């Protein structure tokens, strides 16, 4: 078996759900064709067995031992071929299912990373989660069913040809009966998929609600709102349950139709065949073969119904996937280049000199955040990076050279060392220095397995101040050309804040660093302070100079001290 997933999932065709499914099938064309070949041979072998059994019964009736041994040998050989092709068909079916599902996971994960902050603005958490929970399974299932579905068509055609060559009425009955049954099942599929779509929508909303409750559980408990949100979750979960019951009702009708309709065809084929045998028009062996063919046809016909169901589900799932894949980032880049240098925001007048530790103290915190977003290319703005416009640089280059670390950044689940050293390139000494600079050694020491301890999703086991210090460690280990920190010490005590401010200056010595803060402890240890009011620079200098020369600055930082 080839390893999964592939390194490069490719560039999908997202013009329509059908085109996406066709692109997926072409991407795994060789294993898909191999699986179809094994599935077709598997069905064909089963389709030939009733005829061989019929010939064997005729040999028994004629007391022809040689013929009996010959047909028994053929039947045994067919059994061996069926066993081999069945194993290979199943292996290829699993491979194709996994390949299609994992490729979709890779594409959506890559798109989520590409979109960044754009994704949660356009889609809810629950909708994205539902793609990972159910839609990838439906896309994988649409590839899986192609194997048995195409093979079942070949098997039905083969059986029809055999029956027509033996008895024209029976062959015509099967020839027209199978399509009629498929058409009869069709009206059930549309309401089924409409209800399934509604159930998935409600499930996505419920997942969003659950994520919000878990993320804000501590706050909810603090204000006594835990029970209120629990009741809302309970009410929404009941709506999901009711939607599931409605889906199950239609599915039960479909399952019943898959039994009843083939059963009627079997009864007709067997009855007509028996009348022909009684009339002496066909031998006993052929009557047995007709009955076995009628029973055998249940499998291919049910597979056809299943294929229609799965392909429709896959089509709906592909529509949801391409909805994510078709979203374009709000912020894009160009094809220019820059050697770096001064980073300047023309709107506010904030200028970052290379190698300096600069601070922005804003009268309104949102002004500092807006400047950080423009300097980090998370918002549009007239920003120059050296001699080049920041908006004309490739977004990948901007992200690799300028890092904005704020308090909305999350700690993901996994080994703590891996979550801090996301590139996996830091040495033990570099990691130790980053922990020291962020005053985070005590956090690691308190963990049972130190840096090898597994972090829960969102770092829930850590306090707000601990999470903030760990985020600072991660930012320092990234070691970007320009590091922009937004309120990096707002949740830590004054003693730790003073140590972090002093150690940060040493850790980033000679590198461009911007800290957005109004903390005097941090401001006093920076090279240059920019005071911003109403989104524009009002005064510049050192912390102590501004305390003496700017009443507005003094009022802002004194308010912070109070």
pLDDT in tens, 408-455: 888 878 899 999 998 889 999 999 999 999 999 999 999 999 999 998
Identify the domain containing residue 437 by its residue range: 343-561
For residues 277 and 413, membership in a common domain is answered with no
Q: Answer whether residue 338 is part of any domain.
A: no
Instruction: Mark which of 273, 295, 325 sits at the end of a domain.
Output: 325
Q: Answer whether residue 410 is part of any domain.
A: yes
Q: Under 8 Å CB-to-CB from 246, ≥6 apart: which residues? A: 195, 199
Q: Answer whether residue 485 is part of any domain.
A: yes
Residue 516: pLDDT above 60?
Answer: yes
For residues 405 and 291, membership in a common domain is answered with no
Report pLDDT for 408: 82
Full DSSP string of 506-521: HHTTTSEEEEE---HH
Q: Answer whether residue 336 is part of any domain.
A: no
Question: Position of tokens 């020369």?
Answer: 549
pLDDT, tens digit, 9 for 90 and up, residues 463-510: 889 999 999 999 999 999 999 999 999 989 999 999 999 999 999 999
For residues 385 and 295, membership in a common domain is answered with no
Instruction: Mark which of 325, 353, 379 sits at the end of a domain.
Output: 325
* Among 134, 190, 143, 154, residue whose Cα is nearest residue 309: 190
pLDDT, tens digit, 9 for 90 and up, residues 84-135: 999 999 999 999 999 999 899 899 888 888 887 777 777 766 677 677 777 8
d(CA 69, CA 59): 9
Angle among Cα 12, 14, 18 to the nearest 5 degrees reads 105
Q: What is the CATH number of the domain that holds 107?
A: 1.20.1560.10
**Bridge-based pairing state of the strands 528-533 and 402-405:** unpaired
Q: Answer whether residue 422 is part of any domain.
A: yes
Q: What is the CATH number of the domain that holds 358?
A: 3.40.50.300
Report pLDDT for 1: 47
Provide the number of structural domains found in the chain.
Answer: 2
Q: Answer whether residue 10 is part of any domain.
A: no
Q: 427 burial class (0-12, 13-18, 19+ CB within 10 angstroms)?
A: exposed
Q: Answer whether residue 179 is part of any domain.
A: yes
**Is-contact 266 295, C-beta < 8 A?**
yes
Residue 218: pLDDT above 60?
Answer: no
pTM of the model: 0.68
Angle among Cα 155, 159, 160 to the nearest 5 degrees reads 115
Full DSSP string of 113-170: HHHTTHHHHHS-HHHHHHIIIIIHHHHHHHHHHHHHHHHHHHHHHHHHHHHHHH-HHH
For residues 374 and 440, membership in a common domain is answered with yes
d(CA 156, CA 50): 13
Q: Answer whether residue 7 is part of any domain.
A: no
For residues 358 and 386, membership in a common domain is answered with yes
For residues 316 and 358, membership in a common domain is answered with no
Residues of the chain above pLDDT 70, percent? 93
Instruction: Mark which of 299, 325, 351 sits at the end of a domain.
Output: 325
Task: Please provide the size of the chain in residues.
Answer: 562
Residue 518: pLDDT above 60?
Answer: yes
d(CA 250, CA 194): 10
For residues 348 and 314, membership in a common domain is answered with no
What integer best gives the mean pLDDT of the chain?
A: 85
For residues 348 and 295, membership in a common domain is answered with no
pLDDT higher at 352 or 123: 352
For residues 379 and 235, membership in a common domain is answered with no
For residues 435 and 534, membership in a common domain is answered with yes
* Among 64, 481, 144, 99, residue whose Cα is nearest residue 313: 144
For residues 302 and 358, membership in a common domain is answered with no
Task: Mean pLDDT check: name the lowest of 173-182, 210-219, 501-510.
Answer: 210-219
For residues 319 and 362, membership in a common domain is answered with no
Collapse the DSSP code of 344 into the 3-class scheme (helix H, G, I; strand E, B; otherwise coil) and give the result.
strand
């Amino acid at each position: 078996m080839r390893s999964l997933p592939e390194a490069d999932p490719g560039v999908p065709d997202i013009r329509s759900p059908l085109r996406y499914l066709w692109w997926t099938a072409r991407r795994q064309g060789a294993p898909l064709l191999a699986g179809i070949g094994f599935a077709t041979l598997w069905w064909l072998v089963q389709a030939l067995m009733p005829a061989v059994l019929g010939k064997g019964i005729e040999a028994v009736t004629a007391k022809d031992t040689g013929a009996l041994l010959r047909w028994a040998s053929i039947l045994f050989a067919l059994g061996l071929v069926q066993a081999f092709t069945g194993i290979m068909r199943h292996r290829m079916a699993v491979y194709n299912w996994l390949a299609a599902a994992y490729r979709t996971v890779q594409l959506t994960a890559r798109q989520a990373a590409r979109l960044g902050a754009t994704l949660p603005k356009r889609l809810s958490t629950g909708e994205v989660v539902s793609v990972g929970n159910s839609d990838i399974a439906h896309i994988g299932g649409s590839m899986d069913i192609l194997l048995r579905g195409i093979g079942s068509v070949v098997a039905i055609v083969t059986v029809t040809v055999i029956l027509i060559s033996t008895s024209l009425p029976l062959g015509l009955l099967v020839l027209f009966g199978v399509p009629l049954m498929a058409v009869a099942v069709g009206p059930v599929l549309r309401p089924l998929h409409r209800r399934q779509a509604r159930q998935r929508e409600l499930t996505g909303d419920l997942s969003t609600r659950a994520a919000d409750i878990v993320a804000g559980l501590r706050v909810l408990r603090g204000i006594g709102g835990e029970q209120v949100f629990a009741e809302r979750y309970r009410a929404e979960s009941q709506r999901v349950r009711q939607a599931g019951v409605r889906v199950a009702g239609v599915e039960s009708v479909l399952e019943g139709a898959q039994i009843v309709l083939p059963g009627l065809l079997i009864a007709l084929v067997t009855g007509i065949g028996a009348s022909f045998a009684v009339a002496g028009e066909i031998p006993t062996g052929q009557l047995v073969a007709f009955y076995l063919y009628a029973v055998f046809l249940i499998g291919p016909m049910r597979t056809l119904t299943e294929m229609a169901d799965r392909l429709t589900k896959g089509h709906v799932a592909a529509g949801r996937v391409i909805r994510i894949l078709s979203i374009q980032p709000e912020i894009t880049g160009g094809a220019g280049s820059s050697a770096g240098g001064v980073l300047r925001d023309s709107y506010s007048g904030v200028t970052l000199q290379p190698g300096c530790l600069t601070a922005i103290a804003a009268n309104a915190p949102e002004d500092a955040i807006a400047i950080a977003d423009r300097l980090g290319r998370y918002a549009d703005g007239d920003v120059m990076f050296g001699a080049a416009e920041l908006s004309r640089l490739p977004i990948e280059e901007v992200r690799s050279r300028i890092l904005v670390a704020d308090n909305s950044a999350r700690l993901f689940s996994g080994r703590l060392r891996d979550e801090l050293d996301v590139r996996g390139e830091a040495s033990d000494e570099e990691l130790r220095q980053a922990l020291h600079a962020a005053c985070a050694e005590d956090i690691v020491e308190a963990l049972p397995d130190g840096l090898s301890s597994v972090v829960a999703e969102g770092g829930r086991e850590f306090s707000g101040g601990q999470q903030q210090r760990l985020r600072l460690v991660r930012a320092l280990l990234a070691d970007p050309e320009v590091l922009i920190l937004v309120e990096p010490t707002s949740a830590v005590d004054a003693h730790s804040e003073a140590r972090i401010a002093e150690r940060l200056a040493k850790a980033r010595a000679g590198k461009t660093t911007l800290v957005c803060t109004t903390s005097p402890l941090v401001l006093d240890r920076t090279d240059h302070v920019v005071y911003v009011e109403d989104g524009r620079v009002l005064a510049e200098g050192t912390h102590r100079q501004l305390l003496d020369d700017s009443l507005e600055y003094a009022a802002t930082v004194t308010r912070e001290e109070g």
